[in-house]
Amino acid sequence: MYETERLILRNWEAKDTASFIKMNQDLKVMEFFPGPYSSEETIQSINNFKRSIEEHGYGMFACELKEDRQFIGFVGLMYRDFEASFTPCVEIGWRIAHEYWGKGLAVEAACKCLDIGFNEFNLGEIVSFTASVNKRSERVMQKLGMSRDPTHDFYHPKLESQHPLAWHILYRLSKSDFVKNQA
């Protein structure tokens, strides 16, 4: 378990499942995905996140508010090895219920995850990517001090190249840049 000023990042618990299913069926939250997740897809995601935490020590952590222990989504790090020029890699990602958007919670939790990745697990680089039309996530990447080289943008291999969400932007942050940003 990790803490920030307002948040707790922890492994997944059974009590998270119903809230996460609801969140993954919210069209606002899932706007930049091919579609909402079924209950089965959400449960599979939770299992993948838990397996990553068990295998690597990090994964997409369940995220809850300290003040009332309300589950609000996930933020964390995942090893990725799909076919792309920058893989294998460790990705930082987030998905927060829309009623918690605009409060800086994703940035707060992601800053903690960068610290965990670079200082606890000694990662050399962490990446983040999203559909090019997802400007909210891109702003989070920028606030984290990540940088983009447009020549590394890519078509996500799990989507047909004609799909409106297929073109993805890639942001990166090296450990040395993270340390400079912290200073």
Average pLDDT of the residues in 70-82 = 96
Average pLDDT of the residues in 76-81 = 96
**pLDDT confidence of residue 64:** 98
**pLDDT confidence of residue 131:** 96
List, in order, residues 6 or more apart from 164 with CB less than 8 Å away.
133
Contact 84, 157 (CB under 8 A): yes
Contact 175, 125 (CB under 8 A): yes
Average pLDDT of the residues in 81-91 = 93
Contact 61, 11 (CB under 8 A): yes
* Bridge partners of residue 37, in order along the sequence: none
Q: What is the dihedral of CA 142, 65, 2, 117, to 10 degrees?
A: -20
Contact 140, 37 (CB under 8 A): no
Predicted confidence (pLDDT) at residue 55 exceeds the cutoff of 90: yes
Predicted confidence (pLDDT) at residue 92 exceeds the cutoff of 90: yes
Which secondary structure element, helix H or strand E, spans residue 171, and what is its range?
strand 167-174
**pLDDT confidence of residue 111:** 97
Predicted confidence band at 181 (pLDDT cuts at 50, 70, 90)?
confident
Average pLDDT of the residues in 51-62 = 96
**pLDDT confidence of residue 121:** 97
Tokens of 28: 């606002």
**pLDDT confidence of residue 182:** 82
10 Å Cβ neighbour count for 3?
11
Name the average pLDDT for the chain: 96
List, in order, residues 6 or more apart from 182 with CB less than 8 Å away.
none
Contact 94, 75 (CB under 8 A): yes
In the chain the domains, ranked by start, together with CATH numbers, are 2-182 (3.40.630.30)
pTM: 0.94
Tokens of 10: 């922890």
Predicted confidence (pLDDT) at residue 74 exceeds the cutoff of 80: yes
